[in-house]
């Protein structure tokens, strides 16, 4: 039993760490002259291809469906998946203007956004634990983004893109937890990614012309799809069932420090003690919100939702 917990914890940590590397890889791709259109299209196209190949080897899982794969359910998943595509666009646009350390913190604002959405949808005030966690996250955000430091100039364009990414991911949270849950996990992921790919292709249609560099597919597309779409599902598939949702969500929060450390080591982005203090507060809030078992509903944490959505073979943005 103890060995299973250790094994599961390591697998979940590796899956979350894979997600934490994405923003740094995106900024490295930007430094080589690639655009947001090229980055997102290559990631989702190769990610969709990878998931499709996985479905061919997981036909037995498809037989576990409780209901048929009707067209209406498929369309719901594809539509819901557009929020995942928008999240990637907004987040990758944000890190064009702001450090990765700030971008990941802004994306974490989906925690309190999720609490508000849950309150609106269920017409029920959040409990004391969630309320306290929200205020802790807001305080941690102020520190982690240097909002209280007068000597630091905030790029409000990047800040805006980051908040839009958080809003979009809040919609993804709802979709992941409430739409077409009777589908096998892998099939849900495939259609969600297809929806993301479609919205990205529509938005960047004008960019798919002679200036589009197809080198992105070999240079960065494979890396982004591997670490953002293919590898994490496999790791979460093995890890989460061994340790459960609550512990899984807590361990998955390792994505935040990994994202910041990767940017610091590979991009040379400075991170102050004040920022680390803010990150620590946010991590504490994630633990606070997931320290006990959670009921079905909109999870008040991006990372907890990500773990839940990956409990089978699933994917994210």
Poorest-pLDDT segment among 25-29, 49-53, 120-124: 120-124
Asked which of 148-152, 156-160, 239-243 is least confident by mean pLDDT, the reply is: 148-152
Rounded CA-CA distance 188/292 in Å is: 27
* Lookup result for tokens 């807001």: 138
Q: What is the DSSP letter of 209?
A: S
- Asked whether the beta carbons of 239 and 248 are under 8 A apart, the reply is yes
Taking only the tens place, the pLDDT of each residue in 167-182 is: 998 887 777 667 777 7
- State the Cα–Cα distance between residues 271 and 103, nearest whole angstrom: 13
Alpha helices in 145-301 (DSSP H): 156-178, 185-203, 216, 222-225, 231-243, 245-252, 255-267, 273-290
Distances (CA, A) of 269 to 97, 117, 272: 13, 33, 10
Handedness of CA 5, 10, 15, 20 (dihedral sign): positive
- Quick one: CA dihedral 200, 85, 259, 171, positive or negative? positive
71-92 tens-digit pLDDT: 888 898 899 889 989 999 999 9
208 vs 82, which has greater pLDDT? 82
């Amino acid at each position: 039993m103890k060995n299973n917990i250790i094994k599961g914890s390591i697998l979940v940590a590796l899956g979350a760490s894979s997600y934490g590397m994405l923003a740094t890889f995106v900024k490295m791709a930007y430094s080589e002259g690639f655009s947001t259109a090229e980055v997102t299209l290559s990631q989702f196209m190769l990610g969709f291809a990878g998931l499709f190949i996985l479905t061919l080897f997981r036909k037995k899982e498809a037989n576990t469906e409780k209901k048929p794969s009707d067209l209406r359910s498929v369309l719901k998943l594809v539509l819901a998946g557009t929020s995942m595509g928008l999240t990637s666009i907004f987040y990758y646009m944000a890190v064009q203007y702001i450090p990765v350390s700030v971008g990941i913190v802004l994306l974490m604002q989906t925690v309190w956004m999720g609490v508000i959405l849950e309150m609106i949808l269920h017409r029920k005030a959040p409990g004391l634990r969630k309320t306290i966690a929200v205020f802790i996250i807001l305080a941690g955000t102020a520190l982690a983004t240097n909002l209280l430091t007068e000597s630091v100039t905030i790029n409000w364009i990047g800040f805006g893109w980051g908040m839009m990414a958080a809003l979009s991911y809040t919609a993804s949270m709802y979709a992941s937890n409430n739409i077409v849950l009777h589908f096998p996990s892998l099939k849900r992921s495939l259609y969600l990614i297809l929806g993301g790919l479609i919205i990205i292709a529509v938005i960047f249609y004008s960019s798919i012309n002679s200036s589009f560099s197809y080198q992105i597919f070999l240079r960065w597309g494979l890396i982004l799809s591997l670490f953002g779409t293919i590898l994490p599902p496999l790791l979460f598939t093995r890890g989460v069932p061994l340790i459960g949702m609550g512990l899984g969500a807590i361990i998955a929060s390792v994505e935040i420090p990994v994202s910041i450390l990767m940017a610091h080591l590979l991009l040379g982005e400075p991170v102050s003690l004040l920022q680390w203090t803010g990150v620590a507060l946010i991590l504490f809030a994630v633990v606070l919100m997931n320290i006990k078992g959670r009921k079905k509903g909109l999870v008040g944490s991006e990372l907890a939702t990500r773990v839940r959505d990956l409990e089978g073979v699933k994917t994210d943005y």
